[in-house]
Amino acid sequence: MDLHFKIEEWAKQRKSAIFHRQLAVISGPKEWAENQAQSLVSIITPSENEILWVGDRPDKEPPVSPKAYRQYLGTEYATVIFNCFSGISANALMAFSGTIRANGLMIILCPEFNRWPHFSDPLSHSRYSYGFSQVKEPSRFIKRLISMIEEDDNTVIITSTSFSGRNRKVSSAELSRKLNSTTPEQEQTISSILRLRTGHRQRPLVITADRGRGKSSALGLAARTLIAKHTSKIIITAPNKRNVEQVFAFADIEENASSEHALVFVAPDALVEGDYQTDLLFIDEAAAIPSSILKSLLDKYSRVVLSSTVHGYEGAGRGFELRFKPYLENEYKGWKNLVLKTPIRWYKDDCLEHFWFRVFIMEDATSAASSKPLIERSNQIRGTSGNKGFAEHFVDYAFIEVTKVLLANSRNILKQVFSLLINAHYQTSPDDLLRLLDAPEQRIFACTLGDDVIGVALICSEGGNPLGEVSQGIVNGSRRVNGHLVAQNLAFHCADDTFVKMEQWRIVRIAVANAYRRKHLASALLTFIEATAMELGITLLTSSFGATPKLLSFWTHNHYLPLKLGFKRDASSDEVSLVIGKPLTDLTASLLKTVQIQFSEELTYHASRYHQSMDTTLLTHLLTHSHPKELSSHTHQRVKQYLISNTPYMSFSQALAAYVLQKLSCIECPSQIPQESYILVASLIQFKSAKALVSEFKLSGKKELNTNIKNAVAII
């Protein structure tokens, strides 16, 4: 049968009946693939308004950048064409696949399969660190993607010489179900929103689901009911107004900000800063909004619904699960969580969703054994058993470096490694899988038990020869290159290009399976990484993360030193970033002593300015790393005078602050910090107001505050 006829018959069949959402791959020369796609959609989706082209298009219309996917969350199309000749973005592939409605089609345009892994991707320069992106190796991610495309029975493949695939039928039971009609889960959700309007205050309702489960329609239908009864004004917020188009569509209400009973969109930052009155607040795509803003909105508004996607396209969905839900548990005991599982925008067993979930390991990981024990793959792994250089209780474990070759060749190992990273860290995204397989500067170290990967660390090489020619530009602030996060940060901060010239490793992630935590495996893995780094001539190990007392304690226990504290809170974690380091040579150790002195001076200087709202426990722990200073006899005398006087602490604050800092600088580990130190740091170092101190330490008033501070000074 003629190839053109086969394609046309398939397309006409798809137009004439209802099928599952599917993926079609058009593989061939760029111009041919683009024209083929244009011909195809003219049959399947004749309406231009129902088609979204991502990347270059043959009609020369302004292209939609793959990087612009956030703007399209919440929109719907019959067909999405993703032109991979314009560049691959894993986050974008996942995001745009979620915009396709039932019976829709996602079309990927790509080079011939034998050429695609060697294709020079226009977006690759933004994925890899400076100096590494020029390394010419076939893309392991693309090889894996091609393999999964070819073995998937539900994916259609079109080349200049062949056609394979079929339209996947929807079961008769599913066809009898009316899409976009409410499910029992949705009805429960709508009822919960209606009850929230008149129920107890300060009991947030959280709705979580994968895409297509009807979160937006549930919000819209609930809003329509409440407004129709003339009982409510509802404000809805989201990262972008386009995110909530479906909510307004289901509410069937025109936006009218001046109406007493209406649904109105307000941007998150404007909502925090402005004086808005509302009966209910809907926060859609909550996982993509900084948690500091979410906390402010929960504090400001008493009746709040938060809607979040489970699989965030930048890892933010996991951030909501790992970070924000525990916050709700601690601060809002009456909060309620509802999970929507049944798809309403497409049919159950959706082909497109299942395909991308498999590709990006979004499904639950299993511990299926690999065909050969992990520790026997000597040609692909360098490592050591736990009884060599480690404590006796690590004898059953192996500590290894897992090569990219092994990750690419073993789906089971890749799945275990990536699942650990997803489940342990809020910022692991589909793009990270692409980098894990392809980025030459990244390495994976693992702790294994038999065939199971139970601990993993992701390492990124920084500094060294790649930055030699741009080192001065980095130091003077005129140049900033991709990657090399800590190396550039320290070089600029310390005005010393030594930090970009030395070869160093940054520990990006470290994760241990739940069942094996608190067994010191993460510390043992760090020990193995350190030994390997020294063998390879690495002079410095670093890491950068959102600082918490628990994390700081872990790293300092492993002899990492705090080197630089950020000023702004991270948008996802709502924590201030901390750079830490561990020298592996005497020369580096000498260099870091100077950095520590600078860290100490800046920390105390900024404590009452940029760090006034920081967690007091965290700041106190950081201050134990301050450079010790001798106190003058006059300062000692002032402290003694304060202890015997009846004068409030503010009159002696300068001397008392110096005294507290000197005491903290002598403490070697957090367990030695006197409990009384925290109120002293909050009052004398952070300079918090009396009102804030009374609230934070649950005191009756200023009198008790002054008494507690005096007692604390006497004790420490």
Q: pLDDT (tens digit, 9 = 90+) per residue, 74-119?
A: 788 999 999 999 999 999 999 999 999 999 999 999 999 999 999 9
Which residues have CB under 8 Å from 294's CB, separation 6+? 283, 286, 306, 324
The CA-atom distances, in angstroms, between 296 and each of 270, 271, 291 are 12, 9, 8
Mean pLDDT of the region 137-165? 96
Residue 526 burial (CB < 10 Å; 0-12/13-18/19+)?
Answer: buried
pLDDT of residue 369: 32
Task: Write the pLDDT tens digit of every residue in 699-708.
Answer: 999 999 999 9
CATH entry 3.40.50.2000 includes domain 3-168: no
Same fold? 3-168, 366-610: no
Binding site for ATP, by residue number, is: 186, 345
Cα separation, 377 vs 446, in Å, equals: 14
Residue-averaged pLDDT of the chain: 89
Tokens of 568: 């702004």
pLDDT of residue 78: 95
pLDDT of residue 426: 58
pLDDT of residue 391: 42
Cα separation, 643 vs 638, in Å, equals: 9
Mean pLDDT of the region 494-503? 95
Structural domain spans, the chain: 3-168, 184-340, 366-610, 622-715
Phi, psi of 506 (to 5 degrees): -105, 130
Tokens of 492: 């600029």
Task: Name the one residue in this structure whose structure tokens are 């394979």.
Answer: 164
SS3 684: helix
Task: Write the pLDDT tens digit of every residue in 214-247.
Answer: 888 899 999 999 998 877 899 999 988 888 888 9
Cα separation, 623 vs 657, in Å, equals: 12
- Residue 676: DSSP 8-state: T
Cα separation, 437 vs 414, in Å, equals: 9
Mean pLDDT of the region 302-322? 73
Mean pLDDT of the region 572-599? 91
**Residue 653 CA neighbour count, 13 Å, CB half:** 13
pLDDT of residue 709: 94
% of the chain with per-residue pLDDT over 70 = 91
Tokens of 429: 């995204």
Binding site for acetyl-CoA, by residue number, is: 510-512
Task: Write the pLDDT tens digit of every residue in 168-180.
Answer: 999 988 888 888 7
Residue type, 44: I
pLDDT of residue 529: 98
What's the predicted TM-score (pTM) here? 0.84
Q: Specify the CATH number for 366-610; select among 1.10.1370.40, 1.20.1560.10, 3.10.180.10, 3.40.630.30.
A: 3.40.630.30
Q: What is the dihedral of CA 147, 153, 156, 161, to 10 degrees?
A: 70
Closest to 544 in 3D by CA, of 503, 514, 573, 516? 573
Kindly tell me if the per-residue pLDDT of 595 is higher than 60. Answer: yes
Tokens of 148: 């999964």
Total length of the chain: 716
CATH entry 3.40.50.200 includes domain 184-340: no
Confidence of residue 13 (pLDDT cuts 50, 70, 90): very high
Binding site, by residue number, is: 186, 345, 510-512
Kindly tell me if the per-residue pLDDT of 297 is higher than 50. Answer: yes
Task: Write the pLDDT tens digit of every residue in 405-420.
Answer: 999 999 999 999 999 9
